[in-house]
Structure 1
Amino acid sequence: MHITILGGGGFLGRKLAARLAREGQLDGRRVTALTLFDLNTPVPPAEAPFPIRTLAGDVTDRAALAEAIPPQTEVIFHLAAVVSAAAEADFDLGMKVNLHGTLAVLDTCRTLPKPPRVVFTSSVASFGGGQGAMVPDDGRQVPANSYGAQKAIGELLLQDASRRGFLDAVCIRLPTVMVRPGRPNKAASSFVSAVLREPLLGLPATCPVEEDFAVWICSPRRAVEWFLYAATMDTAPLGLDRGINPPGASVSVAQMLAALPQEARRLVSFVPDTTIQAIVSGWPAAFTAERARRLGFSEQEPLTEVVRAFIEDDLEATRAERATG
């Protein structure tokens, strides 16, 4: 099985690649080759039982995509994106990568001899409703930001491409992923990881929202589990609707801080940021996610385990990266 990860240099792309390299198979089938593609050349896992290609290129470049997605490709993980606050600040860049990049992926899939499975990372930002919303599985996508609109459009394009037989898509509307390793990024939700990651590193952190602000979250481990499941699941029960609201968890900032050691909590201060608040206040904080459970998607682990997983998987590497950066 030949697999391509678009956005293979990002933190979820790296974790997904490492998992594939460690296991060497997907749903009982041997992985024969893996291509990692990103704007900058991705760093491959140290060891793998199959060849790994690493390519740099623009996701809107058809020629670059043709190299990243050769004819034998069976599974494409489309993780490449410009994140929320960056897409809001630069409309043209968001449209280029999030919309036209997805169109370029669709067009490349049409050239393959066999329609590939495409696992597309959409987002809870494609919904509105704010803190009081409990989004049902058939909830209408009314995004309150450009990033969410671009992701919703991408979903519709891939849904129609699946109907026409060009590809076989599963669109996962990712919750806010925490705890992200490394440094803060340009996502509006970056503070969700920062209020845990920075204190665990012994560094101060600021929170732009109130303690009672709630977020629909998932862990990196759970996100990778969902990707792998989506790559091989039976898509017949999905019908035309290829969008999945996976079973994340709704947690408040206060609950996040309570998961920290007491001395670490003292490093978090509350500094309102109206720009961030304007983006994240429209995101719903809870989803029913019953359809995903019926389809076999695994449940999000408790918040204490999310923090423990970051400490086990990423804390020391993040500490080393931040010390040398």
Structure 2
Amino acid sequence: MKVLILGGAGMIGQKLAHDIAANGLSGDTAHELILHDIITPPWNGKGSPTLLTGNISDPETSTALAASKPDLIYFLSAIVSGDAEANFAKGWDINMRSAWNLFEAIRAEHEASNGRYKPKVIFSSSLAVFSGPYPDTIPDDFFTAPQSSYGAQKAAVELLLADYVRKGFMDGFSMRLPTICVRPGKPNLAASSFYSSIIREPLNGQEAILPVPETLRHWFASPKSAVGFMTHAASISASQLGKHLSLNLPGVSCTVADQIEALHDIAGADVVKLIKREPNEAIQNIVMGWPERFAAKRALNLGFQADKDFKAIIQTYIDTELCHK
């Protein structure tokens, strides 16, 4: 199996690639792995994957990638929510136009092969496709009505993918990931970046800024669970999802106060004291309208699994990141 990871230099792309290299997919260890990103993806794992660099919003790049005929494409590449909101044209170019170019390149290869080439595309979507008011628990059939450019871009790609699958050009579906926490490394431009920062920085002896009220509730999954979602998705076909090809994934629902309490229970009061409250209206305007809890019954019935609770999410960060420094 030839596996292409778009966004292969990113955190999830890297963890997914290393997991596939070590463990294979769906019991298949005979795979060819290709990582693509705007910068050269780093590699220190098993094997020697192909490492490619290019701009996915460039049609020539999409044409070349499709011509390599990957069997499975993980579409993870994107600019993050804060960047997409601040830079309107850039956001639509990278987060939506790149998908159009890629899907068109796949269609061209499909038609040139008389229908024999039909890859599976797993698109990494977002909870930002939703807006309130919400029920206490959001059902799988809740409507999308994004209130940010990032959410609109993700929703647009979901629709594109569904139509290309409907027409038979490719297989695949979209997965609406929970906010991934705790991310290793430094804060990024995502509006949700603080969710990781208020855990990661204190555990590393550094101050962290909390820009939102502690009452804010949200939906989370660890990087480990995100990789699990991706690898499990390789065994799922669009036909198993019926006509609705966007899947809400399971996660952990908790408030910022719950996050801080979990951190206190694991690391103690001195660590929690490193969290500083500094309200930020711009961030609040983006994240305060994000969803809080999902039923995710379809995903659970398909075998997708989430973290037990937020303590487990923090412990995953400690075990996989802090203990390896």
* Alignment map for 1:194-213 (pairs within 5 Å): 194-213=197-216
Q: Is the 8 A contact 2:221 2:306 kept in 1?
A: no
Q: Is the 8 A contact 1:8 1:17 kept in 2?
A: yes
Q: 1:226 is aligned with what amino acid?
A: F
Q: Kindly provide the CA deviation profile for residues 141-179 of structure 1, in whole angstroms up to 9, marking residues without a partner as x.
A: 011111001000100000010000111122000111000
CA distance in 1, matches of 2:96, 2:280: 28
> Equivalent residue for 2:36?
37
> Equivalent residue for 2:91?
94
**Unmatched runs of 5 consecutive residues or more in structure 1:** 320-325
Q: Is the 8 A contact 1:131 1:283 kept in 2?
A: no
**Unmatched runs of 5 consecutive residues or more in structure 2:** none
Q: Is the 8 A contact 1:4 1:69 kept in 2?
A: no
1:289 partnered with 2:286 = no
TM-score, length basis structure 1: 0.93
> Equivalent residue for 1:168?
171
CA distance in 1, matches of 2:81, 2:69: 33
> Equivalent residue for 1:56?
53
* Alignment map for 1:139-218 (pairs within 5 Å): 139-218=142-221
CA distance in 1, matches of 2:320, 2:78: 24
SS of residue in 2 equivalent to 1:211: coil
TM superposition shift of 1:130: 5.7
Q: Kindly provide the CA deviation profile for residues 182-239 of structure 1, in whole angstroms up to 9, marking residues without a partner as x.
A: 0000000000000000000100001011111111111101111111111221332212
CA distance in 2, matches of 1:68, 1:301: 38
> Equivalent residue for 1:73?
70
> Equivalent residue for 2:319?
312
Pairwise CA RMSD of aligned residues?
1.5
TM-score, length basis structure 2: 0.93
Q: 2:199 is aligned with what amino acid?
A: L
CA distance in 1, matches of 2:223, 2:81: 18
Q: Kindly provide the CA deviation profile for residues 15-74 of structure 1, in whole angstroms up to 9, marking residues without a partner as x.
A: 000101111x211223431110000010123322xx411111001122223333444410
Name the % identity: 38
CA distance in 2, matches of 1:227, 1:180: 17
SS of residue in 1 equivalent to 2:71: strand
Aligned residues: 315
TM superposition shift of 1:133: 4.9
Distance 1:303 1:152, change over 3 A: same
